[in-house]
Amino acid sequence: MSLAQFLTIFISAVFIYNVILSRFLGLCSFVAISKETKPALAMSLSVMFVTTMSSIITWLIYRFLLIPFGITYLRTISFILVIATFVQFVEMVIRKVSPSMYRFFGIYLPLITVNCAVLGVAVLNVDMFFVKDKAVAGSFFYSAFQGICVGLGYTLAMLLMSGIRERLELCNVPKCFKDFPLAFIIASIMSLSFLGFGGFPR
Amino acid sequence: MKEKLIVSFSPHLHKKESTSRIMWIVALGLIPAGGAGVFIFGYSALRVILLGVISALLTEAAIQLLAKKKVTLLDGSALITGLLLAYNLPPEVPFWIPIVGSFFSIAIGKQAFGGLGQNIFNPALTGRVFLMASWPKYMTTFTSPLNYDAVTSATPLAFLKEGRALGHISYLDLFLGKRAGCIGEVCILALLLGAAILFIKGYISWHIPLTYIATVGLFTYIFGANGLFSGDWLFHILSGGLCLGAFFMATDYVTSPLTRKGQVIFGVGCGLLTAVIRLWGGYPEGVSYAILMMNAATPLIDRFTKSRVYGRA
Amino acid sequence: MKKLFSEFIKGVIGENPTFVLVLGLCPTLAVSVSVINGIGMGFAATFVLLGSNVIISMIKNFVPERIRIPCYIVVIATFVTITELFMKAYSPALNRALGIYVPLIVVNCIVLGRSEAYASKQTVRDSLFDGLGMGVGFTLALILISAIREFLGSGTIMGERLIKGFEPAFVMGMPSGALLVIGLLLAFFNLLKGRRA
């Protein structure tokens, strides 16, 4: 396990291959929940929790269940089921802790299940840290850390977007562009600017 | 219902000068760089500049007419966007590139957000990255300086990215503009002259340009070569779009932070991103991307560096 | 009868999953590069939507609330597998074109979104028409977006080159271009809505 590898994971997951702005995963909640900073932050933390925990659990399942029994082709469906269970759990917690936030999230909370970012990082961990069905050294910790960092990258994009949209609330945006259309255009320009990170060595 | 009181972020101007007067002086400050570009690259450069400016003006007028708003061409902001967009283009691009680019800059980069003072991203750079992503071949074909036959050549930064030696280009060449590059970025002398006008009039402060350039210099000095602390920082400061970006685009009131502290953060951020992309990324130049990314962060920076309101904790 | 029709139509216009509900963006961005792909994905997703909405509506009273999400996933995954096998057998070219995005219909927000928001609460008949409407709405959105992206990004429609000497804008083949197209289409629709009001 090397510090350099952890640093690489951090920088690439948060900036260079940002899950939303470079990989374009998790866009539905990005466009829908980024209007104000508080819900955006709450959603980001929920997503980060789910990505971290599911990175850990899917790693364990892959290593101790799928590989030994030779059923690695079932990884997509088993990963999704793990994630689904987790999101169910998070949903129960949020409902208890903050019913108003729960109502605000609406459909987008259960939709973390199918947030491509979550499944994406689980699959990415397996692709990056297993070679020919054997775990590389430090694989578990790298995977868990990558789960955290992808969550951080998601948070960064959400914070940037909510900062922008909150400021635009005070401006006189043309009516036909208000809310969603402009949010998509902002997402487009942000992702164009993140093209500058293209071509970095992995 | 008439427009309510608009609480906008910038420009907040308390001097006797109006927004449009500032814009026209900025446009004046941009003329030396454009003149140098035309001198160095010939009539094609002039054509690009004219097309860029005309397209920007027409787009703004058309949109404002269609939206039944006041046509504000005389405030000079569309002119500046057109100029800056043209300055960011190679001299031999097809005629429709500056036209489409300026159209995109004004329509999407500025008017979709609600017009002057409300855009988040620098409009000229928005247009530039759009063009870059759409027609990369045209946007990366450069020509030799002072060679009016339009011989293709690579920019110094491109040479660097490919690992080729730069023996034939001196610092003086870089400073005067004797190199391949975009129309308005090559002649540092002209850019400094123009920036001086803006400094003297007090329209831009040193915070952003200085921190931006210094950060690039420092970073490339430390990391720019195989050993530490041996990078060619002067080369990096004088090449690419750094001076054009640092003095004329990163300093745009509307898209950069309000407070001095925020501006320093902005400058350092731009510098770090530019240097990292130049040294380790896939592109030879990172100024446009760096500034746009920091534009996105500006609302957050403003939020966290706002001066304390009296009476609040 | 009228109610069923309105159930259907709302999925196409009033609550279009792409333009109004903002769901299913990831596959939309990736697949809407060419019209053929858009149509193929639209049909596949519609089939899955129909099947899962109907089944979930049928079993909604038997599924314990605490594990409902994993249960829905199993149902959806089953239909996706059926679709995938069907496609492999009868339309292998399309299957290859859509690639990984066929199995990824499992994580298409629209499918789980409708199961959770609608099928789990409404009658089988209503859910069927809702699924149909949403699927058709999604397909039409895909066709519209991919027509624009294909034309501007590669100068063709359904593989046929339309204008000679047209320089395609590569950004349209990228997700950034897709986001731009969707944003502008949305603004355009809002404009139309505003005019009518």
ipTM, interface predicted TM-score of the complex: 0.88
User: Which positions 122-161 of A are in contact with B (Cβ < 8 Å)?
Assistant: 159-160
pLDDT of the residue at B2: 44
pLDDT of the residue at B311: 53
Residues of C in contact with A87 (CB under 8 A): 69
Neighbours of chain B (3+ CB pairs under 8 A): A, C
Count Cβ–Cβ pairs < 8 Å, chain A vs chain C.
114
Question: Which of B118, B265, B279, B306 would best serve as a mutation to test chain A binding (most A beta carbons within 10 A)?
Answer: B118
Count Cβ–Cβ pairs < 8 Å, chain B vs chain C.
17
Write the residue in C22, C107, C116 that is nearest to A116 by C-beta: C107
Q: Is A101 on the interface with B (CB under 8 A)?
A: no
Angle at A83 between CA A77 and CA A84, to 5 degrees: 85
- Yes or no: say if B155 and B179 are a contact pair by the CB < 8 Å rule: yes
pLDDT at A174 over 90: no
Q: Do A177 and C187 touch (CB under 8 A)?
A: yes
pLDDT of the residue at C159: 67
Write the residue in C22, C180, C188 that is nearest to A180 by C-beta: C22
Single-letter amino acid code for the residue at B304 = F
Residue A14, token pair as written in the block: 């948060």
Distance, CA of A20 to CA of B154 (rounded, Å):
34
Write the residue in A164, A174, A185 that is nearest to B296 by C-beta: A164
Q: What is the mean pLDDT of chain C?
A: 85
Distance, CA of C127 to CA of C50 (rounded, Å):
8
pLDDT at A191 over 80: yes
pLDDT of the residue at B273: 94
Residues of C in contact with B108 (CB under 8 A): 180
* Alpha helices in chain B, H assignment, sequence order: 19-41, 43-66, 77-87, 96-107, 123-134, 136-139, 156-162, 171-176, 188-200, 207-223, 233-238, 242-244, 260-280, 287-305
Residues of C in contact with A26 (CB under 8 A): 26
Which residue in A has a C-alpha nearest to residue B105's C-alpha?
A: A189
* B43-66 vs B96-107: helix crossing angle, rounded to 10: 40
Across residues A136-158, what is the average pLDDT?
Answer: 91
Which of B3-12, B44-53, C26-35, C117-126 has maximum average pLDDT? B44-53
Domains belonging to chain B, first-starting first, are 19-305 (1.10.3430)
From residue C129, give the alpha-carbon distance in Å to each of A41, A155, C17, C63.
36, 37, 14, 22
User: Which positions 47-76 of C are in contact with A (Cβ < 8 Å)?
Assistant: 66-70, 73-74
Q: Do C170 and B136 touch (CB under 8 A)?
A: yes
Distance, CA of C158 to CA of A74 (rounded, Å):
35
pLDDT averaged per 10 residues in sequence order, chain B, 313 residues: 50 59 88 92 92 94 86 83 94 92 94 89 95 92 79 82 74 84 91 91 88 93 82 86 93 90 94 92 90 95 76 50
- Yes or no: say if B186 and B145 are a contact pair by the CB < 8 Å rule: yes
Distance of CA C167 to the CA centre of its chain: 30
**Pairwise pLDDT comparison (A104 vs B123), residue with the higher score:** B123
> Which helix H or strand E contains C129, and what residues bound it?
helix C124-154
pLDDT at A202 over 60: no
pLDDT of the residue at C26: 81
Sign of CA dihedral C53, C100, C139, B130: positive
Domain ranges of chain C: 2-196
Overall size of chain C counted in residues: 197
Q: What are φ and ψ of residue C161, in 5° steps?
A: -70, 130
Q: B87: closest CA among B156, B32, B133? A: B32
Which residue in C has a C-alpha nearest to residue A191's C-alpha?
A: C176
**Pairwise pLDDT comparison (B79 vs C26), residue with the higher score:** B79
**Residue B16 burial by CB count (10 A; 0-12/13-18/19+): exposed, middle or buried?**
exposed
pLDDT of the residue at A161: 95
Q: Do B130 and C171 touch (CB under 8 A)?
A: yes
Distance, CA of B213 to CA of B271 (rounded, Å):
7
DSSP B76: S
pLDDT of the residue at C167: 81
pLDDT of the residue at B310: 57
Whole-model pTM: value is: 0.89
Across residues C20-27, what is the average pLDDT?
Answer: 82
Q: What is the mean pLDDT of chain A?
A: 86
Residues of C in contact with B134 (CB under 8 A): 169-172
Q: How far is C84 from chain B (nearest CA, A)?
A: 34
pLDDT of the residue at B132: 94
Find the distance separating the first CA and the last CA of chain C, reported in whole Å. Answer: 28
pLDDT of the residue at B313: 47
Across residues A111-135, what is the average pLDDT?
Answer: 82
Question: Which of B68, B134, B137 would best serve as a mutation to test chain C binding (most C beta carbons within 10 A)?
Answer: B134
Q: Do B135 and C176 touch (CB under 8 A)?
A: no
pLDDT of the residue at A86: 85
Distance, CA of B132 to CA of B108 (rounded, Å):
16
DSSP C59-85: HTTTS-GGGHHHHHHHHHHHHHHHHHH
